[in-house]
Amino acid sequence: MIPTSSSRGAEAPRGTDERGLTLIETLVSLLLLAFVALGSASLLAATLHQNKLAQKRSLATHLAAERIEHLTSQRYESSTNYLAYGLPGEVADAGPPITFTASYGSIVGHPEFRRVVTLNYGVPVPGMLQVVSEVYWNDLNQGEKRHVVTTFVHPGLERAQ
């Protein structure tokens, strides 16, 4: 009898076993699995880093907004009485512009941050006060990072309340 070929290809000779994988097929599948695992690991590392960065930025936003809230909750002071806006641990500089600096380690509970508050009198128009709160921290991969929150204060708004 002459062997014939089926629609799937040539039939294997009798007595051979086609069950299982060859060594080459196993190695290729392991190589593919390794590439997928490495891709997943690098994605996980990047996600963890971005999560940590977002956490630091959120805390920086809180520290900047908290400082502005403290400053704006006080009575409006003219540029000659600017020291009334300072906090303990901050170093004042008469400028211009007037700044209050809290260096690394001086913000209670957050030694990994530093903050610079800038007071610009007469900005954007005479009689107004621009308050800029900048919070800095160090990122291992990207160096020093900065987050800025700005607000404006007008003495007339204080009297209207």
CA distance 46 to 79: 46
DSSP letter for each residue of 105-118: T-STT-TTEEEEEE
The structure's pTM equals 0.74
Which tokens is 88 given? Answer: 């303990």
Give the model confidence (pLDDT) of 97-109 as tens digits.
999 999 999 999 9
Residue 67 lies in a domain: yes
What separation, in Å, do the N-terminal and C-terminal C-alpha atoms of the chain show?
Answer: 108
Specify the number of domains making up the chain: 1
The answer to whether position 3 is within a domain reads: no
135: Cβ–Cβ under 8 A, 6 or more apart, which residues? 60, 61, 63, 64, 113, 114, 115, 146, 147, 148
Q: Is residue 9 assigned to a domain?
A: no
Q: How far apart are CA 119 and CA 45, in angstroms?
A: 40
Residue 72 lies in a domain: yes
Residue 106 lies in a domain: yes
Token pair 């941050």 is at which residue?
113
Does residue 96 have a pLDDT over 60? yes
Q: Domain range spanning residue 131?
A: 23-160
**Polymer length of the chain:** 161
> Each residue of 37-90: pLDDT tens digit?
999 999 999 999 999 999 999 999 999 999 999 998 998 888 899 999 999 999
